[in-house]
């Protein structure tokens, strides 16, 4: 963290413990080696949350930081917020105010609880700030800073383009990139089969590449789902994925982050979900919700006549991290409420 007098301590919870999903990202995103690794690993939501709380508490007790910054909406986010709050340490939540209004999603519970506990709510979009005000959060605790993930994207884009990932996979400008990971899509064999069948139809007209987590691949194998025509590959690194996304004809996903990345890149995105906690990607960006998998082939075909034309939302300019530091500077001496 750059700012006068600030020292940053990086705690890696180890919630994403696979090398392809963890250490590779640290290297590619040029993140400093973590000062601590909690090595939480996999488990139920309760187990992950409890392990983070148990292992983070002694670190915070020993270091007594002025602030704990928590990011996003995963179990680690809410666990760290709970520990910090009970120790009387101020919490800043990056990506505050996002809502899907669907409490069947564990991430929605994490967002709500974290925002209630946070002392500083750092929002990525103006609609997120409005949501927090509607929920009763005071203006002095809300700071619109923009989307820090787009800082990463813009910083990494030259390296991504130089990675040669698209060329390495032999893909041109007609490729469809697929990412799926949500349990509602990959843990239900019938729904997963419907999605893959739709991808197979699309693959008759476009190359379809699907970097799939081993767990998702296991689900497809166990359900004897025919993936013929769809290029299913192992997970790839951030730079390789970014190269595929920036050159894609369209993207099919259920990822919140990919919705944002495609909006920033101006690439059409079809989100296989009933809702999204990032509505700005629809109202201003290139994202469309497609809850019914059978509608996917028709949506892709329609791009021949008209492709979504969006704009990059305010604050998605690569300067969000600077605004975060300024927000912390402004509150450096403010008493804790």
Report whether 97 contacts 121 (CB < 8 A). yes
Smallest Cα–Cα separation from 113: which of 68, 80, 146? Answer: 80
Token pair 């843990």 is at which residue?
A: 187
The CA distance from 258 to 264, in Å, is 10
Tokens representing residue 25 in the block: 């990202």
Tokens representing residue 100 in the block: 């899907």
Q: Which of 16, 126, 181, 213 is catalytic?
A: 181
State residue 285 phi and psi, 5-degree precision.
-100, -150
The CA distance from 337 to 331, in Å, is 11
Alpha helices in 118-163 (DSSP H): 126-134, 148-162
The CA distance from 174 to 197, in Å, is 19
Q: What b-and-e string marks burial along 70-97, b requiring 16 or more CB atoms within 10 Å of the CB?
A: bbbbbbbbbbbbbbbbeeebbbbbbbbb
Token pair 């008209």 is at which residue?
A: 306
Give DSSP secondary structure letters for 39-95: ---S--HHHHHHHHHHHHHHHHHHH--SEEEEETTSHHHHHHHHHHHHTT-EEEEET
Active site residue 181: yes
Contacts of residue 66, Cβ cutoff 8 Å, sequence gap at least 6: 89, 90, 332
Positive or negative, the CA dihedral 186, 270, 246, 28 is negative
The CA distance from 237 to 19, in Å, is 10
Give SS3 for 294: helix
Active-site residues: which are they?
Answer: 181
């Amino acid at each position: 963290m750059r700012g006068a007098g600030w020292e940053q301590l990086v705690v890696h919870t180890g919630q994403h413990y696979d090398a392809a999903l963890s250490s590779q990202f640290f290297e590619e995103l040029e993140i400093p080696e973590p000062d601590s690794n909690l090595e939480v690993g996999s488990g139920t939501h309760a187990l992950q949350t409890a392990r983070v709380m148990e292992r983070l508490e002694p670190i915070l007790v020993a270091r007594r930081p002025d602030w704990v910054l928590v990011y996003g909406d995963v179990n680690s986010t809410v666990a760290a917020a709970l520990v910090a709050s009970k120790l009387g340490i101020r919490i800043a939540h990056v990506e505050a105010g996002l809502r899907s209004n669907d409490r069947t999603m564990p991430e929605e519970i994490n967002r709500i609880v974290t925002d209630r506990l946070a002392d500083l709510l750092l929002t990525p979009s103006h609609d997120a700030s409005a949501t927090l005000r509607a929920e009763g959060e005071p203006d002095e605790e809300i700071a619109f800073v923009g989307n820090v993930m787009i800082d990463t994207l813009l910083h990494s884009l030259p390296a991504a383009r130089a990675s040669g990932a698209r060329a390495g996979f032999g893909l041109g400008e007609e490729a469809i990139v697929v990412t799926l990971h949500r349990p509602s899509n990959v843990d239900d064999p019938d729904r997963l089969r419907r999605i893959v069948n739709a991808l197979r139809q699309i693959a008759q007209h476009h190359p379809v590449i699907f970097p799939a987590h081993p767990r998702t691949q296991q689900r497809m194998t166990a359900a004897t789902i025919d993936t013929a025509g769809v290029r299913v590959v192992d997970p790839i690194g951030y730079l390789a994925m970014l190269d595929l996304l920036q050159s894609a004809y369209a993207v099919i996903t259920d990822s919140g982050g990919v919705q944002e990345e495609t909006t920033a890149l101006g690439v059409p995105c079809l989100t296989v979900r009933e809702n999204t906690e990032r509505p700005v990607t629809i109202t201003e960006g290139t994202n469309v919700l497609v809850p019914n998998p059978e509608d996917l082939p028709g949506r892709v075909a329609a791009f021949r006549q008209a492709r979504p034309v969006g704009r990059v939302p305010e604050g998605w300019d690569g300067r969000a991290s600077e605004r975060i530091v300024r927000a912390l500077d402004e509150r450096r001496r403010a008493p804790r409420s």
